Chain A
Amino acid sequence: MPIERPRCLRELSVWLAGSDELAASLRTVCEVNVLHPADWHERLQDAHASFLLVEGNNAAEARWETELDRLLEACEGAGIPRLLWFTSSPTGPRLLARCGRFDQVLAAERWQVPELEAAKAAEPTTLWPATALPIDGAAGDRSDPVVWLGGWSRDWPADWQERLASVLRGASQRGLRIVPVADLDGLPGDLQECVDTGEPRDPRAAMRRAKVVIGADPVVGSSTFVPAVVFDAAACGAAVLTPHDFVTIHEMAVGKVAEGTWRNMVPIVHDGEITVEELDRLLDDEQYRIEVVGHMGRIVANNHTYAHRVATLASAARYSVVYDAVEPVAV
């Protein structure tokens, strides 16, 4: 299993212990060899790896409970860098207990880092989710005013449920459609009428038909979480509002809307009143919405695709590679 230093993303070969969704996203950029607990050691015989990536979420934690230590041991013996990326929140106890066995631990949520540091993780840091979708959505000619790719959990903290429900009630005043992509058990009764009960919709198609997408994660109920849907929606040409607070971190998406006037391109909304206000601005001023969408498309193209994330993961494994240039997004 020779380890060759990759010179570009195409030369990266990743061993992944993680979800099919993450594998599909990574494959848009580099070679991915998905490992399974039952036969991982056989797969390693004839494949080389630039690094091992373990996805930190509940599913991975449960599936790899018995085999993970042996996998990490094998990689350590072969000199293969081991990375752990918590793509969900909160962190699971079994993976948290093994943090110290990885060369670097990354978390989608910045506020997990002190917890990782306390768990003896080496070099814990932050890695946001990204979009694997092409950035090709035109802002105009859309049939749905506002869409949420929804999911609900009774286990979410009460204050998060309250915040999200208030935001969705505000959005319902401007024609909200909830497209189920996860379990909606527990969704407040008055919001049930917004649920799209027709044929199952492809999430991407739903975002491409929406003028505005509510950027709330359908699974993680945390105000500080960074939901991938924000980047997916922007890639699909929808404007985004979010009840998650991450956007303020170092001006992720502040844009100039007029001389001397700067606005957050992804407004943070905590209640129905502000949601209505922001939706009015986006839905009643077509030109403004088109400008916002163009601006966000450029930010995502420059910063938030899986090519960006894979290049950063490679840096965590001590490889210096950059992603290829993409066509600039017209604004």
Chain B
Amino acid sequence: MESPPTTTPKIQHLIETRFSLRTSRNPLTREWLDYRLGLLRKYTLPSVAAQTVSSFTWLLFCDESTDSEVLEQLHSEERRLSTFEVALTSGTSGPLDVVRSMVKPETDVLITTRLDSDDAIAARYVELIQTYAAPFHQSGHVRLLVNCPRGYRLDTREGPRLYRDWMPNSPFHSLFERPRQSEPETVLAAAHEGLRKRYADRQRLETLRTGHTGGHSRMHQHYPTHQDESMPAWLIVVHEGNMVNRIPPTAHEQAVGAQPTGITLGA
């Protein structure tokens, strides 16, 4: 049996999180920013800080108009967590420009992972995703999407209530690319395009939803997709501020007091 060549690719792994990107002509309000900062600190930050490897960069995209006190609070988190980086965006430099400017010329495999600023990932999530870098590098794929279908939903509105869920098109996709062969599209490709238009037009969008046209829920239609079933890999927090906050029929509730396995959350 012929074996694939043994090579160790140079990996670059960026986690992309949209935090305070503008959705209208008006800057985001301080009240909204404080609410989102609370969610970030309670769920997303502790889960990323608990990763079992540190060979990644977590980019938090903020519009340059973001309230300076909020930015200062984020910068203080940046000083505490070495993998965390606040990335400022503007009308002339959107998230895609930021990501492309960070890709090192020697990178064989670029991994970009999508993470919403109110969700969490399992402590082994980054480690698991990176185990696919070598198999991807040895495959004939130009791009490959890796999804972990299993995860949790935590409904904080009543309870809290914990559900197990399964999403073949989750909002935690990781896109594997070969930046030396073609310009990176990155996992937020569809969102980048939408944001680029928004920046260009400064137009008001009626909604900014996860799963919008061409978003994560349809990425599997455009890229070869691998589903990893090795562990529950993520947690979606359902709160009053979600654009989509229904519990889907694929989710089933866990016993009262059950905790999400392998995911570190804040107090």
Contact = CB atoms under 8 A, between A and B. Distances in A.
Interface of A: 7-8, 10-11, 104, 106, 110, 113-114, 117, 123, 125-127, 249-255, 262, 295, 298-299, 301-303, 308, 311-312, 315-316, 318, 320-326
Given A8-B4, A125-B150, A249-B168, A322 B227 contact: no
A322 B250 contact: no
A110 B166 contact: yes
Contacts of B168: 249-250, 252, 303
Interface stretch (B39-47, B69-77, B110-118, B138-146): B138-146
B220 interface: yes
A104 B166 contact: no
B218 A312 contact: no
B225 interface: yes
A249 B227 contact: no
B141 A125 contact: no
Contact of B1 (A10, A255, A295): A10
A223 to B, nearest CB: 12
Contacts of A104: 229
- Most central of A249, A316, A322 by chain B CB within 10 Å: A322
Contacts, number: 107
Nearest to A265: B221
Contact of B135 (A7, A125, A252, A301): A7
A303 B136 contact: no
Contacts of B142: 325
13 contacts: A10-B1, A123-B229, A123-B231, A250-B167, A251-B211, A302-B220, A312-B228, A318-B230, A322-B136, A324-B139, A324-B141, A325-B139, A325-B141
Per CB-CB distance, the 3 closest pairs between chain A and chain B, nearest first, are A325-B140, A320-B131, A315-B228
Given A252-B168, A302-B224, A325-B224, A110 B250 contact: yes
Contacts of B222: 302
A322 B220 contact: no
Contacts of B92: none
Interface of B: 1-4, 128, 131-132, 134-136, 138-142, 144, 149-150, 164, 166-169, 211, 213, 217-218, 220-231, 250, 252
Contacts of A125: 149-150, 166, 229
Nearest to A31: B1
Contacts of B1: 10-11
A281 B215 CA distance: 27
A308 B226 contact: yes
A302 B220 CA distance: 7
A323 B228 CA distance: 12
Contacts of B164: 113, 117
Contacts of B3: 7-8, 11
A10 B2 contact: yes
B139 A322 contact: yes
Nearest to B148: A315
B139 A315 contact: no
Contacts of A298: 221
A251 B169 contact: yes
Nearest to B132: A320
A244 to B, nearest CB: 14
A8 B141 CA distance: 13
A127 B229 contact: yes
B221 A302 contact: yes
B80 to A, nearest CB: 31
Contact of B140 (A11, A301, A324): A324
A251 B167 CA distance: 10
Nearest to B143: A325
A252 B213 CA distance: 14
B221 A322 contact: no
A316 B149 CA distance: 12
